[in-house]
Structure 1
Amino acid sequence: MPLELPALPYDRTALEPHLSGDTLDHHHGHHQRALIDRVNALTAGTELDGAPLEVVVRKAQGALFDHAAQAWNNAFYWHSLRPAAAGGSGPKGALAEAVARDFGDVATLRQRFDAIALRHFGAGWVWLVQRADGRLGLVATANAATPITGDDTPLLAASMWEHAAYPDYRDNRARYLEAFWHLVSWDSVAARLR
């Protein structure tokens, strides 16, 4: 059975005013849909036909990897966010303790994350990850690269692809990141801790 584009975990306008419904339509409805369609075309009739997307990412190479990993990264990104109206005061419990241990506080985590994102050249992702030893770290990946192919567990992702920010913020990545932090779902991040 071919892969299907996963539905957004909220309404297309739920991230406004930080990310517009038009941006979600374009990013999710156009780009992510095209990635899923391409994965289906490339896996048709192969051993990966109908395999879960994460399995395809872990086994694929070349163009199939690029499309599958990017589709996975996008799905992860949507689940890293929550409507701003839902509120949220930051990390709690074990996540708050890990942030304090490894960054000092949320402000420092955010400052370091943003610095990596603003230095990142071209398309890609910035991730908060949990290392194999349990410590938290920050990673930037280019293009479709993803932490799930290594030992890190992704906890939070910010898309640095043009279609994630350009419709609402043009070339102002700093404003996009400011909006991103208003939407982070700390509950989702905490649920991913090992």
Structure 2
Amino acid sequence: MAFELPPLGYDYASLEPHVDAMTMNIHHTKHHQAYINNLNGALDKFPELKDLGIVDINKAVGTDKLPAEVATVIRNNGGGHYNHTFFWKVMTNPSNTNGPSGAVKEAIETAFGSVDEMKTKFNAAAAGRFGSGWAWLGVKADGSLAISSTPNQDNPLMSSLPDTAAMTPILGLDVWEHAYYLKYQNRRPEYIAAWWNVVNWEQVTANFEAAKAGSVPL
């Protein structure tokens, strides 16, 4: 079955003024759609891979499960599809975001000392990613939380890749320029700081609970 562009759970203007409507429209309908088109094109060459879901495709990156002919295309575009599908869900209208609570807040405080300290370290990972990439908050195998950064469209599910911290993502931020340049130009730190105003902490909590139960949230 071919992958399709998932609908957003909100309007393109819902994240204003922190993420502008034009960026959201282009990001969703052009950039994300292009990853899907390219991924489907690669999978057409190897129909036996079409039974894999997007999570399993990402976990197969860096292994011999992916034919060499399409391994890089699948890595880039399968990663792009998973990352963006995940990204849309961890954002919401600013009026709906109240910060972490419950078990996920407790886990953040245990791992980092405070929510503010977690944000500081996350911001540093996002701002310090040279070129294009992502910053992640995730659950490690021992159940604790950690922060990592990946280049391009890589993600923590691709644990077979060198220098990729294996964990299950519960929050992720796109720091490719197309995610912020129309509004913030080269001011990536300003975009990162503003983005916390649209984080969907209810979804992050659900992702945390899924990860703790051994599932990969999507």
TM-score (norm: length of structure 1): 0.94
- Correspondent of 2:88 among 55, 78, 82: 78
Give, in whole Å, the separation in 1 of the partners of 2:42 and 2:183.
32
Deviations 1:22-71 (A, max 9, x none): 00111111000000011111101521236422222223421112111111
Equivalents in 1 of 2:137, 2:93: separation in Å?
20
What's the secondary structure of 2:146's corresponding residue?
strand
Aligned-pair identity (%): 34
Match of 1:179 among 186, 194, 199: 194
Aligned length in residues: 193
- Residues 37-46 or 138-147, more deviating: 37-46
| Aligned equivalent of 2:153, options 144, 152, 170 | 144
| Contact kept? 1:122, 1:161, Cα under 8 Å | yes
Unaligned runs of 5+ in 1: none
Q: Which runs of 5+ in 2 are unaligned?
A: 61-65, 160-165, 213-218
* Residues 58, 75 of structure 2: 8 Å contact kept: yes
CA contact (8 A) 2:38 2:73 kept: no
Whole-Å separation in 2 of the counterparts to 1:103 and 1:148: 22
2:142 match: secondary structure: coil
**Is 2:74 the partner of 1:64?**
yes
Whether the 8 Å contact between 1:2 and 1:50 is mirrored in structure 2 is: no
1:191 maps to a residue whose letter is: A
Q: Which residue of 1 aligns with 2:56?
A: 55
Q: Work out the CA distance in 2 between the residues paired with 1:43 and 1:71.
A: 13
Which residue identity is paired with 1:177? I
SS in 2 for 1:18: coil
Equivalences for residues 1-194 of structure 1 within 5 A: 1-46=1-46, 47-49=48-50, 51-59=52-60, 60=66, 61-86=71-96, 88-150=97-159, 151-193=166-208, 194=212
Q: Does the aligned pair in 2 maintain the 1:118–1:173 contact within 8 Å?
A: yes
Distance 1:29 1:21 in 2: 12
The runs of at least 4 aligned residues of structure 1 exceeding 4 Å deviation read none
Q: CA RMSD in A?
A: 1.3
Q: In the alignment, residue 156 of structure 1 is paired with which amino acid?
A: L
